[in-house]
Amino acid sequence: MKKRTVTRRARIAAIGAALLITAGATGSAVASGEAGVTGKTPRDAAALTGSAKLYRSLGDDITFTFDARLAAEHNDDPTRATGTFRFSHFLHGEGAWAEAEVDCLITGGKVAVVSGVITRSDLEGAEGRRVGITVHDLGGKDRLGYSWASTGSPVDQGDVPKCVGSAPFEKVKHGTGDFRVLPWKPAL
């Protein structure tokens, strides 16, 4: 039997391939969010994100934007949710906008209820008011409802408890965005 010799070039190529495979595996672990001994970064316990305009036949420009999250370590307490949401309503240059700090987020399936206290607004009397919004994530045909639906203004709605909104009766205008709801899985 003839003895095979491995050339220096072949050894370098083999070592290089091994390094590339190792680097690729490490890179994909980092890119996918895996970290530390646990193997993965915990996902949020619940989330509501996205932006869209509501449909109105008169052409009102009504926009809602959400970045609300309940961290995994607070899974047992939806009032520990964080983030902000913003909404505006304009028609013929008249209207108002507001931004709220999230104080509660509960999701179930593809429905989310988020509440928050208005921290900035150009609507007189709105700052300091809690508002609640409900979103139904239907994949491009989303729906939305808000706590001031029956009064017409967050200023006129009265006190709203945390995580209370109205039925999602409004339709999202086709092609303007998409809300995404990450379902909450509370420990029971």
Q: What is the pLDDT of residues 22-77, one digit of tens each?
A: 334 434 333 333 344 555 666 899 999 999 999 998 989 999 999 999 999 999 99
pLDDT (0 to 100) of residue 65 = 97
- The residues pairing with 50 across neighbouring beta strands, listed in sequence order, are 66
Please say whether the beta carbons of 126 and 96 come within 8 A. yes
Low-confidence ranges of the chain (pLDDT < 50): 1-4, 6, 8-36
With beta carbons less than 8 A apart as the criterion, state whether 144 and 54 touch.
Answer: yes
Q: Give the chain's mean pLDDT.
A: 83
What was the pLDDT predicted at 41? Answer: 63
Indicate the SS3 state at residue 146: strand
181 vs 168: CA distance, rounded Å: 14
H or E element at residue 8: helix 8-31
The answer to whether 40 and 177 are in contact (CB under 8 A) is no
The DSSP code sequence of 75-107 is TT-GGG-EEEEEEEEEETTEEEEEEEEEEEEEE
For 12, list phi and psi in degrees, rounded to 5. -65, -40
The pLDDT value recorded for residue 39 is 58
For 9-37, the three-class secondary structure string (H helix, E strand, C coil) is: HHHHHHHHHHHHHHHHHHHHHHHCCCCCC
In 129-187, the DSSP E strands lie at 130-136, 143-146, 170-171, 180-182
How many angstroms from the chain centroid is the CA of residue 100? 14
Q: What is the pLDDT of residue 2?
A: 47
Amino acid at 72: A
